Structure 1
Amino acid sequence: MADHFHKMHGLGNDFVVIDAREKAVSMTAARARAIADRHNGIGCDQLILLEPADDADAVMRIFNADGSIAEACGNASRAVALLIGRKAELITAGGRITVEPFADGATVEMGLPHFGWDEIPLAYAMDTSAMPVGWEGLSDPAAVNVGNPHLIFFVDDCDAVPLDRLGPLIENDPLFPERINVNVATLTGPNAIKLRVWERGAGLTLACGTGACATAVAAIRSKRVTSPVEVSLPGGILTIAWAGGEQITMTGPATHVFTGETHWANFD
Protein backbone atom coordinates (compact mmCIF):
# COMPACT_ATOMS: atom_id res chain seq x y z
CA MET A 1 0.00 0.00 0.00
CA ALA A 2 1.33 3.43 -0.94
CA ASP A 3 2.31 6.06 1.62
CA HIS A 4 0.79 9.53 1.27
CA PHE A 5 2.24 13.00 1.69
CA HIS A 6 1.32 16.62 1.04
CA LYS A 7 3.52 19.16 -0.73
CA MET A 8 2.85 22.59 0.77
CA HIS A 9 4.53 25.95 1.09
CA GLY A 10 4.33 29.24 2.95
CA LEU A 11 5.62 32.13 0.82
CA GLY A 12 7.79 29.67 -1.12
CA ASN A 13 9.32 28.05 1.98
CA ASP A 14 8.31 24.51 0.98
CA PHE A 15 7.49 21.36 2.93
CA VAL A 16 6.74 17.70 2.60
CA VAL A 17 4.03 17.17 5.23
CA ILE A 18 3.37 13.61 6.39
CA ASP A 19 0.22 13.06 8.43
CA ALA A 20 1.13 10.14 10.70
CA ARG A 21 -1.62 10.67 13.27
CA GLU A 22 -3.37 7.42 12.30
CA LYS A 23 -0.59 5.42 10.64
CA ALA A 24 2.87 5.70 12.22
CA VAL A 25 5.82 6.63 10.02
CA SER A 26 9.40 5.99 11.07
CA MET A 27 11.62 8.99 10.36
CA THR A 28 15.39 9.23 10.72
CA ALA A 29 17.80 12.00 9.80
CA ALA A 30 19.03 9.98 6.80
CA ARG A 31 15.51 9.31 5.54
CA ALA A 32 14.54 12.99 5.99
CA ARG A 33 17.62 14.07 4.01
CA ALA A 34 16.76 11.65 1.20
CA ILE A 35 13.14 12.85 1.00
CA ALA A 36 14.23 16.52 1.06
CA ASP A 37 16.77 16.05 -1.76
CA ARG A 38 15.56 18.11 -4.73
CA HIS A 39 17.29 15.93 -7.32
CA ASN A 40 16.76 12.39 -6.05
CA GLY A 41 13.90 12.83 -3.58
CA ILE A 42 10.65 14.76 -3.33
CA GLY A 43 12.38 18.02 -2.45
CA CYS A 44 11.70 20.49 0.37
CA ASP A 45 13.24 22.96 2.80
CA GLN A 46 11.74 21.09 5.76
CA LEU A 47 9.97 17.77 6.29
CA ILE A 48 7.01 17.97 8.68
CA LEU A 49 5.78 14.87 10.51
CA LEU A 50 2.42 15.06 12.31
CA GLU A 51 1.97 12.53 15.10
CA PRO A 52 -0.82 11.89 17.62
CA ALA A 53 -0.85 13.76 20.94
CA ASP A 54 -2.73 12.96 24.15
CA ASP A 55 -3.45 16.58 25.09
CA ALA A 56 -3.24 18.46 21.78
CA ASP A 57 -4.38 18.05 18.18
CA ALA A 58 -0.98 16.86 16.99
CA VAL A 59 2.72 16.72 17.67
CA MET A 60 4.59 18.54 14.88
CA ARG A 61 8.12 17.24 14.31
CA ILE A 62 10.32 19.32 11.99
CA PHE A 63 13.33 18.03 10.05
CA ASN A 64 15.57 20.43 8.12
CA ALA A 65 16.78 19.52 4.66
CA ASP A 66 20.09 18.33 6.16
CA GLY A 67 18.23 15.94 8.50
CA SER A 68 18.73 18.02 11.63
CA ILE A 69 15.84 18.86 13.94
CA ALA A 70 14.23 22.30 14.03
CA GLU A 71 12.33 23.25 17.16
CA ALA A 72 9.86 25.54 15.40
CA CYS A 73 8.80 26.60 11.90
CA GLY A 74 6.33 29.42 11.41
CA ASN A 75 5.62 28.87 7.74
CA ALA A 76 5.08 25.14 8.30
CA SER A 77 2.71 25.94 11.16
CA ARG A 78 0.48 27.88 8.77
CA ALA A 79 0.61 25.01 6.26
CA VAL A 80 -0.38 22.52 8.94
CA ALA A 81 -3.25 24.80 10.00
CA LEU A 82 -4.52 24.72 6.42
CA LEU A 83 -4.22 20.92 6.36
CA ILE A 84 -6.06 20.40 9.67
CA GLY A 85 -8.71 22.87 8.59
CA ARG A 86 -9.72 24.28 11.97
CA LYS A 87 -8.29 25.96 15.03
CA ALA A 88 -5.83 23.54 16.59
CA GLU A 89 -3.12 23.24 19.21
CA LEU A 90 0.22 21.76 18.18
CA ILE A 91 3.11 20.54 20.29
CA THR A 92 6.54 21.36 18.87
CA ALA A 93 10.02 20.91 20.30
CA GLY A 94 9.98 24.68 20.86
CA GLY A 95 6.71 24.66 22.80
CA ARG A 96 2.95 24.70 22.26
CA ILE A 97 1.44 26.85 19.54
CA THR A 98 -2.11 27.56 18.43
CA VAL A 99 -2.99 27.74 14.73
CA GLU A 100 -6.17 28.99 13.09
CA PRO A 101 -6.68 28.74 9.31
CA PHE A 102 -8.54 31.11 7.02
CA ALA A 103 -9.27 30.89 3.28
CA ASP A 104 -5.68 30.88 2.03
CA GLY A 105 -3.51 31.07 5.11
CA ALA A 106 -3.49 31.09 8.88
CA THR A 107 -2.83 33.00 12.06
CA VAL A 108 -0.43 31.38 14.52
CA GLU A 109 0.15 32.17 18.19
CA MET A 110 3.86 31.43 18.33
CA GLY A 111 4.41 31.64 22.10
CA LEU A 112 6.61 33.99 24.11
CA PRO A 113 10.01 35.19 22.87
CA HIS A 114 13.07 34.59 25.06
CA PHE A 115 16.06 36.90 25.35
CA GLY A 116 18.38 35.38 27.98
CA TRP A 117 21.84 34.47 26.71
CA ASP A 118 21.35 30.93 28.03
CA GLU A 119 17.90 30.73 26.40
CA ILE A 120 19.19 31.46 22.90
CA PRO A 121 21.59 29.69 23.76
CA LEU A 122 24.99 31.38 23.56
CA ALA A 123 28.28 29.87 24.68
CA TYR A 124 28.79 32.62 27.28
CA ALA A 125 26.90 35.52 28.84
CA MET A 126 26.32 38.81 27.03
CA ASP A 127 23.61 41.38 26.37
CA THR A 128 21.42 39.89 23.63
CA SER A 129 19.84 43.22 22.65
CA ALA A 130 23.12 44.47 21.11
CA MET A 131 25.76 41.75 21.16
CA PRO A 132 29.38 43.02 21.05
CA VAL A 133 30.35 40.66 18.23
CA GLY A 134 30.73 40.88 14.46
CA TRP A 135 31.56 39.03 11.26
CA GLU A 136 33.14 41.15 8.56
CA GLY A 137 30.66 43.97 7.89
CA LEU A 138 27.94 42.61 10.18
CA SER A 139 28.07 43.66 13.83
CA ASP A 140 26.09 44.34 17.02
CA PRO A 141 23.26 41.87 16.35
CA ALA A 142 20.30 41.08 18.57
CA ALA A 143 19.44 37.50 19.54
CA VAL A 144 15.94 36.14 20.16
CA ASN A 145 14.64 32.62 20.70
CA VAL A 146 11.12 32.16 19.31
CA GLY A 147 11.09 28.39 19.70
CA ASN A 148 14.33 28.26 17.73
CA PRO A 149 17.38 30.56 17.93
CA HIS A 150 17.76 33.66 15.75
CA LEU A 151 20.42 36.32 15.28
CA ILE A 152 19.28 39.63 13.75
CA PHE A 153 21.42 42.26 12.06
CA PHE A 154 19.82 45.59 11.17
CA VAL A 155 21.57 46.93 8.06
CA ASP A 156 21.11 49.72 5.51
CA ASP A 157 20.61 47.32 2.60
CA CYS A 158 19.89 43.66 3.36
CA ASP A 159 20.12 42.79 -0.35
CA ALA A 160 23.77 43.86 -0.39
CA VAL A 161 24.81 41.39 2.33
CA PRO A 162 26.51 38.23 0.93
CA LEU A 163 24.33 36.01 3.09
CA ASP A 164 25.09 32.89 1.06
CA ARG A 165 28.70 33.20 2.26
CA LEU A 166 28.32 34.77 5.72
CA GLY A 167 25.23 32.74 6.69
CA PRO A 168 26.99 29.37 7.12
CA LEU A 169 29.99 31.05 8.74
CA ILE A 170 27.81 32.63 11.44
CA GLU A 171 25.45 29.64 11.76
CA ASN A 172 28.34 27.37 12.75
CA ASP A 173 30.31 29.81 14.92
CA PRO A 174 31.31 28.30 18.31
CA LEU A 175 29.38 31.14 19.99
CA PHE A 176 26.21 29.21 19.12
CA PRO A 177 26.31 25.68 20.62
CA GLU A 178 23.04 24.74 18.86
CA ARG A 179 23.88 26.73 15.70
CA ILE A 180 21.82 29.79 14.77
CA ASN A 181 19.45 31.21 12.15
CA VAL A 182 20.85 34.41 10.61
CA ASN A 183 18.61 37.37 9.68
CA VAL A 184 19.59 40.58 7.90
CA ALA A 185 16.92 43.27 8.06
CA THR A 186 16.37 46.75 6.64
CA LEU A 187 13.79 49.17 8.03
CA THR A 188 11.50 50.42 5.27
CA GLY A 189 8.91 52.29 7.35
CA PRO A 190 7.66 52.93 10.90
CA ASN A 191 6.12 49.44 10.96
CA ALA A 192 7.75 47.76 7.96
CA ILE A 193 10.88 45.62 7.54
CA LYS A 194 12.57 43.98 4.56
CA LEU A 195 14.19 40.68 5.54
CA ARG A 196 16.46 37.94 4.22
CA VAL A 197 17.20 34.79 6.22
CA TRP A 198 19.85 32.09 6.26
CA GLU A 199 18.08 29.14 7.91
CA ARG A 200 20.02 26.78 10.12
CA GLY A 201 20.12 23.41 8.38
CA ALA A 202 18.35 24.66 5.22
CA GLY A 203 20.28 27.66 3.88
CA LEU A 204 18.73 30.58 2.00
CA THR A 205 14.96 30.21 1.73
CA LEU A 206 12.26 32.39 0.18
CA ALA A 207 10.68 32.94 3.60
CA CYS A 208 11.18 32.11 7.27
CA GLY A 209 8.24 32.57 9.62
CA THR A 210 10.23 32.30 12.85
CA GLY A 211 12.82 34.66 11.37
CA ALA A 212 10.10 37.21 10.66
CA CYS A 213 8.84 36.82 14.24
CA ALA A 214 12.30 37.15 15.80
CA THR A 215 13.21 40.15 13.66
CA ALA A 216 9.93 41.95 14.34
CA VAL A 217 10.29 41.33 18.09
CA ALA A 218 13.90 42.61 18.08
CA ALA A 219 12.83 45.72 16.15
CA ILE A 220 9.85 46.41 18.43
CA ARG A 221 11.93 45.78 21.54
CA SER A 222 14.57 48.29 20.38
CA LYS A 223 11.86 50.81 19.36
CA ARG A 224 12.86 50.72 15.72
CA VAL A 225 9.27 49.95 14.69
CA THR A 226 5.80 49.70 16.20
CA SER A 227 3.51 46.66 16.25
CA PRO A 228 2.01 45.21 14.11
CA VAL A 229 4.95 44.90 11.73
CA GLU A 230 4.79 44.07 8.03
CA VAL A 231 7.78 41.87 7.21
CA SER A 232 8.61 41.58 3.52
CA LEU A 233 10.58 38.46 2.54
CA PRO A 234 11.64 37.34 -0.96
CA GLY A 235 8.56 35.06 -1.08
CA GLY A 236 6.01 37.57 0.22
CA ILE A 237 4.71 39.38 3.30
CA LEU A 238 3.96 38.30 6.87
CA THR A 239 2.29 40.39 9.56
CA ILE A 240 3.77 40.06 13.05
CA ALA A 241 2.22 41.49 16.22
CA TRP A 242 3.85 41.54 19.66
CA ALA A 243 3.88 43.49 22.90
CA GLY A 244 6.17 42.86 25.86
CA GLY A 245 5.04 39.94 27.98
CA GLU A 246 2.63 38.65 25.34
CA GLN A 247 2.70 35.89 22.74
CA ILE A 248 3.87 36.61 19.20
CA THR A 249 1.11 36.46 16.59
CA MET A 250 1.99 35.73 12.96
CA THR A 251 -0.47 36.00 10.06
CA GLY A 252 0.22 35.06 6.46
CA PRO A 253 -0.61 32.81 3.50
CA ALA A 254 -0.10 29.09 3.02
CA THR A 255 -0.61 26.89 -0.03
CA HIS A 256 -1.43 23.22 -0.55
CA VAL A 257 0.31 22.33 -3.81
CA PHE A 258 -0.54 18.65 -4.25
CA THR A 259 -1.03 15.29 -2.53
CA GLY A 260 1.36 12.53 -3.56
CA GLU A 261 2.00 8.83 -3.07
CA THR A 262 5.27 7.00 -2.57
CA HIS A 263 6.85 4.29 -0.42
CA TRP A 264 9.01 5.57 2.42
CA ALA A 265 11.25 2.50 2.13
CA ASN A 266 12.44 3.98 -1.22
CA PHE A 267 14.31 6.61 0.79
CA ASP A 268 16.38 4.29 2.99
Structure 2
Amino acid sequence: MIPAIRSEFRKFFTTRLWWGMAIGIFLAGAAFAALFGFLLTGDLDAGAGGPGGIPTGDATQVANTVYVGGISVGYLLLLTIGVLQIGSEYRHKTISGTFLSTPRRLQAMLAKVVALLGIGAVYGLISLLGSVGVGAVVLSLRDQDAFPSSTILRTLALSLLVLGLWALIGLGIGILIPNQVAALLIGIGVAWIVEPLLGFAMTFWEFGRENIAQFLPSSATNAVIDAVQNSPDEVRLEWWAAALVLAAYAALLAGFGIWRTTRADIT
Protein backbone atom coordinates (compact mmCIF):
# COMPACT_ATOMS: atom_id res chain seq x y z
CA MET A 1 0.00 0.00 0.00
CA ILE A 2 2.79 2.44 0.91
CA PRO A 3 4.57 2.04 -2.46
CA ALA A 4 1.26 2.64 -4.27
CA ILE A 5 0.63 5.83 -2.28
CA ARG A 6 4.19 7.00 -2.90
CA SER A 7 3.68 6.35 -6.61
CA GLU A 8 0.53 8.50 -6.67
CA PHE A 9 2.34 11.39 -5.00
CA ARG A 10 5.22 11.02 -7.44
CA LYS A 11 2.84 11.07 -10.43
CA PHE A 12 1.45 14.38 -9.27
CA PHE A 13 4.45 16.25 -7.92
CA THR A 14 6.74 15.41 -10.85
CA THR A 15 4.57 17.36 -13.29
CA ARG A 16 4.26 21.11 -13.83
CA LEU A 17 0.61 20.98 -12.85
CA TRP A 18 1.25 21.03 -9.11
CA TRP A 19 3.16 24.31 -8.91
CA GLY A 20 0.81 26.03 -11.35
CA MET A 21 -2.12 25.03 -9.13
CA ALA A 22 -0.12 26.07 -6.06
CA ILE A 23 0.43 29.58 -7.42
CA GLY A 24 -3.24 29.87 -8.37
CA ILE A 25 -4.59 28.75 -5.00
CA PHE A 26 -2.13 30.97 -3.11
CA LEU A 27 -3.07 34.07 -5.11
CA ALA A 28 -6.79 33.25 -4.83
CA GLY A 29 -6.52 32.96 -1.06
CA ALA A 30 -4.63 36.24 -0.77
CA ALA A 31 -6.89 38.14 -3.19
CA PHE A 32 -10.16 37.01 -1.61
CA ALA A 33 -8.80 37.68 1.88
CA ALA A 34 -8.03 41.27 0.91
CA LEU A 35 -11.39 41.72 -0.84
CA PHE A 36 -13.53 40.31 1.95
CA GLY A 37 -11.38 41.98 4.58
CA PHE A 38 -12.13 45.47 3.27
CA LEU A 39 -15.78 44.80 2.41
CA LEU A 40 -16.94 42.91 5.48
CA THR A 41 -15.08 44.92 8.11
CA GLY A 42 -16.86 47.97 6.75
CA ASP A 43 -20.14 46.23 7.62
CA LEU A 44 -18.91 45.56 11.16
CA ASP A 45 -18.05 49.22 11.63
CA ALA A 46 -21.49 50.23 10.42
CA GLY A 47 -23.16 47.70 12.72
CA ALA A 48 -25.61 46.65 10.01
CA GLY A 49 -25.85 45.38 6.50
CA GLY A 50 -23.30 46.90 4.18
CA PRO A 51 -23.82 48.82 0.97
CA GLY A 52 -25.22 46.94 -1.95
CA GLY A 53 -26.61 44.19 0.27
CA ILE A 54 -23.22 42.76 1.22
CA PRO A 55 -23.85 39.87 3.63
CA THR A 56 -22.85 40.39 7.24
CA GLY A 57 -21.94 38.33 10.27
CA ASP A 58 -20.31 38.62 13.66
CA ALA A 59 -16.57 39.20 14.12
CA THR A 60 -15.78 35.48 14.12
CA GLN A 61 -17.77 34.80 10.93
CA VAL A 62 -16.13 37.76 9.21
CA ALA A 63 -12.65 36.54 10.17
CA ASN A 64 -13.53 33.02 9.00
CA THR A 65 -14.73 34.36 5.65
CA VAL A 66 -11.63 36.52 5.24
CA TYR A 67 -9.29 33.61 5.89
CA VAL A 68 -11.09 31.00 3.81
CA GLY A 69 -12.78 33.28 1.26
CA GLY A 70 -10.67 31.77 -1.51
CA ILE A 71 -12.00 28.29 -0.79
CA SER A 72 -14.62 28.73 -3.53
CA VAL A 73 -11.74 28.78 -6.02
CA GLY A 74 -9.72 26.28 -4.00
CA TYR A 75 -12.31 23.53 -4.06
CA LEU A 76 -12.77 23.95 -7.81
CA LEU A 77 -9.03 23.46 -8.27
CA LEU A 78 -9.10 20.38 -6.03
CA LEU A 79 -12.15 19.11 -7.92
CA THR A 80 -10.09 19.51 -11.09
CA ILE A 81 -7.14 17.67 -9.56
CA GLY A 82 -9.43 14.83 -8.49
CA VAL A 83 -10.76 14.48 -12.04
CA LEU A 84 -7.25 14.62 -13.53
CA GLN A 85 -5.91 12.07 -11.06
CA ILE A 86 -7.94 9.36 -12.75
CA GLY A 87 -9.00 11.03 -16.02
CA SER A 88 -5.44 11.55 -17.22
CA GLU A 89 -4.75 7.84 -16.64
CA TYR A 90 -7.57 6.86 -18.97
CA ARG A 91 -6.74 9.59 -21.48
CA HIS A 92 -3.04 8.70 -21.76
CA LYS A 93 -3.62 4.93 -21.41
CA THR A 94 -1.47 4.67 -18.25
CA ILE A 95 -4.23 3.06 -16.18
CA SER A 96 -3.13 -0.38 -17.42
CA GLY A 97 0.38 0.23 -16.11
CA THR A 98 -1.04 1.39 -12.78
CA PHE A 99 -3.06 -1.80 -12.36
CA LEU A 100 -0.16 -3.97 -13.52
CA SER A 101 2.16 -2.43 -10.94
CA THR A 102 -0.57 -2.72 -8.27
CA PRO A 103 -2.62 -5.78 -9.35
CA ARG A 104 -5.19 -5.34 -6.61
CA ARG A 105 -7.35 -2.61 -8.06
CA LEU A 106 -8.98 -1.74 -4.75
CA GLN A 107 -5.56 -1.12 -3.26
CA ALA A 108 -4.55 1.05 -6.21
CA MET A 109 -7.70 3.14 -5.94
CA LEU A 110 -7.42 3.51 -2.16
CA ALA A 111 -3.88 4.76 -2.72
CA LYS A 112 -5.34 7.48 -4.95
CA VAL A 113 -7.82 8.40 -2.21
CA VAL A 114 -5.08 8.73 0.42
CA ALA A 115 -2.89 10.70 -1.98
CA LEU A 116 -5.74 13.07 -2.84
CA LEU A 117 -6.42 13.74 0.83
CA GLY A 118 -2.74 14.56 1.29
CA ILE A 119 -2.69 16.76 -1.81
CA GLY A 120 -5.79 18.56 -0.55
CA ALA A 121 -4.05 19.23 2.77
CA VAL A 122 -0.96 20.57 0.98
CA TYR A 123 -3.00 22.95 -1.14
CA GLY A 124 -5.06 23.95 1.87
CA LEU A 125 -1.90 24.98 3.70
CA ILE A 126 -0.73 26.93 0.66
CA SER A 127 -4.09 28.71 0.47
CA LEU A 128 -3.98 29.54 4.19
CA LEU A 129 -0.46 30.95 3.87
CA GLY A 130 -1.81 33.51 1.43
CA SER A 131 -5.18 34.20 3.04
CA VAL A 132 -4.14 34.32 6.69
CA GLY A 133 -1.04 36.38 5.91
CA VAL A 134 -2.95 38.98 3.91
CA GLY A 135 -6.21 38.73 5.88
CA ALA A 136 -4.60 39.32 9.25
CA VAL A 137 -2.89 42.45 7.92
CA VAL A 138 -6.15 43.78 6.45
CA LEU A 139 -8.11 43.11 9.64
CA SER A 140 -5.45 44.85 11.69
CA LEU A 141 -5.48 47.84 9.35
CA ARG A 142 -9.27 48.01 9.77
CA ASP A 143 -8.90 47.98 13.58
CA GLN A 144 -10.48 44.54 13.88
CA ASP A 145 -9.30 41.59 15.95
CA ALA A 146 -7.54 39.19 13.61
CA PHE A 147 -8.38 36.19 15.81
CA PRO A 148 -11.53 37.07 17.79
CA SER A 149 -12.31 33.44 18.69
CA SER A 150 -10.53 30.10 19.08
CA THR A 151 -13.08 28.59 16.67
CA ILE A 152 -11.15 30.22 13.84
CA LEU A 153 -8.38 27.65 14.31
CA ARG A 154 -11.03 24.94 13.96
CA THR A 155 -12.25 26.56 10.76
CA LEU A 156 -8.73 26.67 9.33
CA ALA A 157 -8.27 22.97 10.10
CA LEU A 158 -11.68 22.09 8.64
CA SER A 159 -10.85 23.96 5.44
CA LEU A 160 -8.12 21.39 4.83
CA LEU A 161 -10.68 18.61 5.23
CA VAL A 162 -13.10 20.37 2.88
CA LEU A 163 -10.51 20.62 0.11
CA GLY A 164 -9.60 16.96 0.49
CA LEU A 165 -13.27 15.95 0.25
CA TRP A 166 -13.78 18.03 -2.88
CA ALA A 167 -10.77 16.27 -4.42
CA LEU A 168 -12.48 12.94 -3.74
CA ILE A 169 -15.68 14.26 -5.31
CA GLY A 170 -13.61 15.08 -8.38
CA LEU A 171 -12.14 11.57 -8.37
CA GLY A 172 -15.64 10.10 -8.39
CA ILE A 173 -16.72 12.36 -11.26
CA GLY A 174 -13.58 11.45 -13.21
CA ILE A 175 -14.35 7.75 -12.88
CA LEU A 176 -18.05 8.05 -13.70
CA ILE A 177 -17.36 10.22 -16.78
CA PRO A 178 -14.44 8.55 -18.60
CA ASN A 179 -13.93 11.47 -21.00
CA GLN A 180 -11.58 13.80 -19.12
CA VAL A 181 -12.67 17.01 -20.87
CA ALA A 182 -16.36 16.23 -20.40
CA ALA A 183 -15.77 15.34 -16.74
CA LEU A 184 -14.02 18.67 -16.13
CA LEU A 185 -16.69 20.72 -17.90
CA ILE A 186 -19.58 18.95 -16.22
CA GLY A 187 -17.97 18.83 -12.77
CA ILE A 188 -16.89 22.47 -12.70
CA GLY A 189 -20.08 23.65 -14.40
CA VAL A 190 -22.31 21.93 -11.86
CA ALA A 191 -20.20 22.89 -8.82
CA TRP A 192 -19.58 26.50 -9.82
CA ILE A 193 -22.73 27.50 -11.71
CA VAL A 194 -25.63 25.04 -11.62
CA GLU A 195 -25.58 24.02 -7.96
CA PRO A 196 -25.16 27.57 -6.49
CA LEU A 197 -27.95 28.87 -8.77
CA LEU A 198 -30.15 25.96 -7.72
CA GLY A 199 -29.45 26.74 -4.06
CA PHE A 200 -30.25 30.41 -4.62
CA ALA A 201 -33.51 29.54 -6.38
CA MET A 202 -34.52 27.36 -3.46
CA THR A 203 -34.23 30.29 -1.07
CA PHE A 204 -37.49 31.58 -2.58
CA TRP A 205 -39.20 28.26 -1.87
CA GLU A 206 -40.02 27.70 1.79
CA PHE A 207 -39.76 23.91 1.71
CA GLY A 208 -36.59 23.95 -0.40
CA ARG A 209 -34.83 26.53 1.76
CA GLU A 210 -35.42 24.66 4.99
CA ASN A 211 -35.14 21.07 3.80
CA ILE A 212 -33.04 20.80 0.63
CA ALA A 213 -30.80 23.83 0.02
CA GLN A 214 -28.80 23.35 3.22
CA PHE A 215 -27.75 19.88 2.04
CA LEU A 216 -26.26 21.07 -1.26
CA PRO A 217 -22.43 20.85 -1.46
CA SER A 218 -21.72 24.60 -1.59
CA SER A 219 -24.11 25.29 1.31
CA ALA A 220 -22.52 22.49 3.33
CA THR A 221 -19.07 23.90 2.55
CA ASN A 222 -20.06 27.38 3.78
CA ALA A 223 -21.58 25.88 6.93
CA VAL A 224 -18.39 23.93 7.70
CA ILE A 225 -16.20 27.04 7.49
CA ASP A 226 -18.86 29.19 9.24
CA ALA A 227 -18.79 31.89 6.55
CA VAL A 228 -21.05 34.93 6.66
CA GLN A 229 -24.60 34.28 5.53
CA ASN A 230 -26.11 35.65 2.34
CA SER A 231 -29.32 36.59 4.17
CA PRO A 232 -30.67 36.50 7.73
CA ASP A 233 -33.22 33.86 6.65
CA GLU A 234 -30.62 31.43 5.30
CA VAL A 235 -30.94 28.02 6.99
CA ARG A 236 -27.71 26.19 7.76
CA LEU A 237 -26.60 22.93 9.27
CA GLU A 238 -24.25 22.79 12.23
CA TRP A 239 -20.61 22.65 11.12
CA TRP A 240 -20.21 18.99 12.09
CA ALA A 241 -23.41 17.98 10.31
CA ALA A 242 -22.35 19.91 7.21
CA ALA A 243 -18.96 18.14 7.30
CA LEU A 244 -20.76 14.79 7.39
CA VAL A 245 -22.94 15.83 4.44
CA LEU A 246 -19.88 16.80 2.39
CA ALA A 247 -18.14 13.57 3.41
CA ALA A 248 -21.24 11.66 2.28
CA TYR A 249 -21.05 13.25 -1.19
CA ALA A 250 -17.36 12.34 -1.41
CA ALA A 251 -17.93 8.79 -0.14
CA LEU A 252 -20.87 8.22 -2.49
CA LEU A 253 -19.14 9.46 -5.64
CA ALA A 254 -15.66 8.13 -4.92
CA GLY A 255 -16.98 4.88 -3.42
CA PHE A 256 -19.24 4.10 -6.36
CA GLY A 257 -16.47 5.07 -8.78
CA ILE A 258 -13.96 2.78 -7.05
CA TRP A 259 -16.49 -0.07 -7.02
CA ARG A 260 -17.07 0.41 -10.73
CA THR A 261 -13.34 0.56 -11.50
CA THR A 262 -12.62 -2.69 -9.67
CA ARG A 263 -15.11 -4.49 -11.92
CA ALA A 264 -14.66 -2.75 -15.26
CA ASP A 265 -12.68 -4.08 -18.19
CA ILE A 266 -9.56 -2.00 -18.86
CA THR A 267 -8.34 -1.85 -22.45
TM-score range, shorter chain: under 0.3
TM-score of the pair, normalised by structure 2: 0.28
TM-score of the pair, normalised by structure 1: 0.28
Q: Identify which of structures 1 and 2 has the higher relative contact order when contacts are C-alpha pairs closer than 8 Å and 6+ apart.
A: 2
Q: Which has the higher strand share?
A: 1
Give the structure with higher Rg (CA). 2
